[in-house]
Amino acid sequence: MDLQGSREAGSLARNTAFPHCNSKRIANQLDDHHQKKYDMKDNTPVRSDPGSDKRSSGTLTAA
């Protein structure tokens, strides 16, 4: 999954769990963190599985 897909999924999940939250604001907060702080682009591959920082880096592939 890339950053854009993760941002959209995260915003949707947050809005589903907390409908009073503004999904655009959540997306902007994610952009501020990932794009501005780490200079990531929308097409940057990302891993969102828990503990991924302690495992190998790179693109996950289906076996």
pLDDT tens digits, 12-55: 898 899 999 888 898 899 899 999 888 999 999 887 777 766 76
pLDDT for residue 23: 85
pTM: 0.68
Half-sphere exposure at residue 18, Cβ-oriented, CA atoms within 13 angstroms: 8
pLDDT for residue 56: 66
pLDDT for residue 42: 93
49 backbone dihedrals φ, ψ, rounded to 5°: -75, 135
pLDDT for residue 46: 85
Q: Report how far apart, in Å, the C-alpha atoms of 62 and of each of 2, 24, 51, 59 are.
A: 16, 32, 19, 10
pLDDT for residue 49: 73
Number of other CB atoms surrounding residue 48 within 10 Å:
10
Quote the CA–CA distance of 47 and 21 in Å, as a whole number: 24
